[in-house]
Every structure is written in C-alpha cells, then in structure tokens.
A and B are shown apart, each in its own frame.
Chain A
C-alpha cells in the first residue's frame, strides 16, 4: 500500500491516490486533496464534501452523483461546475471516501 506525506502527515493512499482509511480524514487533509486537483474550496464545495462523508458513514458506500444531487438539492450541472470533468470522483477524492463504484 503506497503512503504519502500530505499536510505534514504520513497517510496511506491507494494506487489512485484515494485515502485508504476514511477515518484518517481531517478538514485540513481535504483542503490539501482539493489543492492537489486544482479545486478552490468554497462553502458550497464543503457542503458537498460534508454530505459525502456523512452519507458514506450512514450507508457504507460512496453516494452516486444522482444521490448527491437529490439529497443536497444541488443540480447535477452545478456539481460539474464545482468539480469540473469528473465530479463524482473528485468529490470522493477530496472527502477521503472510496472512489464511487460505477456498478457493474
């Protein structure tokens, strides 16, 4: 398992750089992950990240884009504006939860 030093901390990440253990997450780490992918965090970004963490804890899996949109009331279009290109993956990365499984 690769590990890396982020925000002065030694942490375990997987091959794609996603946090291995969601419990290792802190807001500071989240901010650093966001910086690494060029996302400038606003309050709306944080609202989504907090939802992802809370929903992951409750449901045991990373929510899909559809679920994030219906549960937070934020249109999918806006998710693409806030996390350009691959919002589902980028939100999960910043929130320190596993990459959403595009189910088989």
Chain B
C-alpha cells in the first residue's frame, strides 16, 4: 500500500477558492507523494457574479451554472458529501455519511452563505416574492419574475449586516434596477430606496463619495445607519432596532451572511463562523496545519472572487515553502478588484487592499487603462461581461491570468490629490 505513506491535503469546499487551490497544487505537488481530496456537498458550480444579471434578463440562468467535477483536475479526488465536523487535534474530517478523512494539511474554503433565517420575518410566505434576494440561483430567478410583475411603487434595496459577499453588488443592483425600470417606462412611478447599516453608500471614503454621487444622480433615496430588527411581511415594512420603519412594495434584501455551520461545530469559527487567520498568510491562528481561503476566513477585505483568486496565488507559493520545511515568505496584501455595473452599459472598477482604499486612475496599465478606476466607462462594462468566460476557462482551471496578486499604485491618483 503506497497510499499510507502519501501525505494528504484535504480541501473543504469546491467553489472558486477550493477549486483553484486544488488544481494549482495538483500541478505543483508530486502525485507520488501527495493525495489531494476536495469535499463539497453538491456538484453544482455557479458563477455567482452572474446572479446579479438574472433578475434583469441580462444573463440566463443556464449561463451561470456548470458542474463542479468538470473543473477539478485529474488526480484530485472529489468527494460529494456534507462535512459534519473537523477534529483539529486528531487531524481528521468527519462527514455526515459516517466516513472520515485524515489530513496532514487542511484548507477550509467553504465560503459564506446568506442566512435569511437569522432575521425575524425574513422567511415566510412572501420569501422569494415581495421579499426578494439575488444571492442564490433560485432567488435571482424568483426575483426576475417578481420584477416582471412589478408595476411601480417602492423598490427597497436592503443590506442586513456586514460583512457580506460582494459588497458592491447591492449598489450594482440599484443602478441596474434604475435602468431596467426606465426601459419599462415605470421609473417615474417608482421610488428606489437604498437601506444600509453603514453611514454612506460604501465603507471606503473615496468610493463612498463617488458611488453616493451616482445614487444621487439617479434619484435614489439613501437610508443610512439602519440596523434591521425584523421584517413585517403583512404590513410590508422593515423595522429597525431604533424603531424606524421603511415601507416597501418590492424588497430586495441581502440577508446576514455566515460561514459554514461545521466551522462553528468544530470550534474553529468567530461570531459569524469565519475562521480567524493571519491576514497575510491565511493560516489559522489556532492550528498551523489549517488554512482558510476565500470567503471562509475573517481577513478584513472584501468577500469576493478576486480576493479568493489573489490570496490563493500567495497561498500556493507559501504552501510549497511550508512543505519543503522552509519559512513562508509570501504575504497577501488584501488586494481586491471589483467591477461595479452602473447601468446603461457602463461600469466602474475598484482596486484596493488592506492599506489603500479604492482610488481613481487607470487599470491595469498606468495612464492607458483601458479600464478606468472609480469612473464609469463602457470598457469596464465589457471587462465585467468578459470575466464570466475568463472565470470558467482560465481562473478555475488554475491557468495564469497575468494579473498581479499584489496591488500596484502606478496609474493611481492618491486620495489627497484627487
């Protein structure tokens, strides 16, 4: 039995981060020495950024959905099962079907999920009807149907709590809804309201200003510092902890996001089931043989595919050093890169990291672009649309994309000069 002498890497989750890391490491770790296993409860792989476009008919549901196994390289074992618990002392993962997997190293890449059950009144008869969402496949398809039935009134876009996946998506939804309602000739009889627990449109000052300005231009009312306590589906109102009420005809909510429940059961999570890690190496603060990648960790940057992508590249280099008995020399800087659809065939681009907020300028080539940072342009929109193909064909298979993992300041205009 040669397998008993092999080392074992177990990856929990075959989403963006899990798939990339398994594929990249399969190319780097010798098959004779390493067994790589990926565990996921489903074989469905959705291109999640595509959910945003489904309610407006800009993507068909089929365009965003593929199978997982098609993207997992040969030589990686895909186990379709639910994780019950990790036993970090015994270095083993118990599955709910009774099987267990021993590991030498464990990567937790089980992401974050919307949890409508955590806000009283969010689930109920009107869930996926007048209380809509676009963070799941079913939700975005249901919202497409609700919007088709919408004849005007109050359209309320609502953020429950931070952090949540793809922090710019609610803004994009708002811009696209403005466009969509204009095209249908019912914008003038619709009031769009953007409800946020933050004190502005976005967390980072320069971007908050630019994005807040775009909301203003589109006649969107912004309700800030709103912490929802419950939703009253009968009266169609959001109620906050300080007893403010926001009425709606169609609500589009971003539910509380939480990491996987098995993370909590295993004693590896924080208050929202995210795995506390070193923000530069993604290594668990409790167990050196455990890493958390993608949305599953508590690193203080966006929960977004771009972060998963850039941090996986850093992790792979570090992991090769680690298993060779060397110190890990690569450090993740929190680099995130987000397209923001602003409607009318245009988009903005945000590029930022732990230390530098999103700035204006050009990307990826200084002064040339072709994409513009924090300003609307057609090129950005085309970049966003093209990304679905890049995702399936280059990113998931682990092929190089030519974008640096670390953020660069060239071509950017510093905040104090802007």
Contact = CB atoms under 8 A, between A and B. Distances in A.
Q: Do A and B bind each other?
A: yes
A80 B271 contact: no
B161 interface: yes
B271 A101 contact: no
Nearest to B198: A102
B242 A80 contact: yes
Interface in A52-80: 64-67, 70, 76-77, 79-80
A84 B161 contact: no
Given A66-B272, A76-B229, A103 B241 contact: no
Contacts of A65: 227
A85 interface: yes
B225 A67 contact: no
Which of A77, A85, A104 counts the most chain B CB atoms within 10 A? Answer: A104
Given A86-B225, A103-B162, A66 B271 contact: yes
B96 interface: no
B400 interface: no
Nearest to B224: A86
Given A66-B161, A66-B272, A80-B242, A104 B227 contact: no
Interface residues of A, number: 16
Contacts of B241: 76-77, 79-80
Contact of B229 (A77, A86, A103): A77
Contacts of B336: 104
A104 B197 contact: no
Contact of A104 (B167, B225, B229): B167
Contacts of A79: 241
Interface SS of chain B: loop
Interface centre among B199, B242, B300 (most CB of A within 10 A): B242
Contacts of B198: 102
Interface in B103-126: none
B279 to A, nearest CB: 11
B203 interface: yes
B203 A103 contact: yes
Nearest to A68: B271
Interface in B171-227: 197-199, 203-204, 225, 227
A64 B271 contact: yes
Contacts of B300: 101, 103-104
Given A66-B272, A76-B229, A104 B242 contact: no
Nearest to B272: A66
* Most chain A beta carbons < 10 A, residue from B161, B197, B199, B271: B271
Q: Which has the most chain B C-beta neighbours within 10 Å: A76, A80, A84, A85?
A: A80
Contacts of B272: 66
A104 B271 contact: no
Interface string B140-183: 00000000000000000000011100010000000000000000
A104 B161 contact: no
Contacts of B163: 103-104
Residue picked from A64, A84, A103, most chain B C-beta under 10 Å? A103
A76 B197 contact: no
B271 A102 contact: no
A1 to B, nearest CB: 15
B227 A85 contact: no
A66 B229 CA distance: 12
A76 B271 contact: no
A89 to B, nearest CB: 8
Interface in B299-326: 300-302
Contacts of B161: 66
B138 to A, nearest CB: 27
A24 B54 CA distance: 52
B159 to A, nearest CB: 10
A86 B197 CA distance: 10
Contact of A85 (B162, B229, B242): B242
B388 to A, nearest CB: 23
Contacts of A102: 162, 197-198, 203
Give the top 10 A-B pairs by smallest Cβ distance, nearest first: A103-B163, A80-B241, A104-B302, A80-B242, A102-B162, A67-B271, A102-B203, A104-B203, A102-B198, A103-B162
Given A77-B241, A102-B197, 20 more contacts: A66-B271, A66-B272, A70-B271, A76-B241, A84-B242, A85-B225, A86-B199, A86-B225, A101-B203, A102-B162, A102-B198, A103-B203, A103-B300, A103-B301, A104-B167, A104-B203, A104-B301, A104-B302, A104-B336, A104-B352
Interface of A: 64-67, 70, 76-77, 79-80, 84-86, 101-104
13 contacts: A64-B271, A66-B271, A70-B271, A76-B241, A77-B241, A101-B300, A102-B197, A103-B163, A103-B203, A103-B300, A104-B163, A104-B204, A104-B352
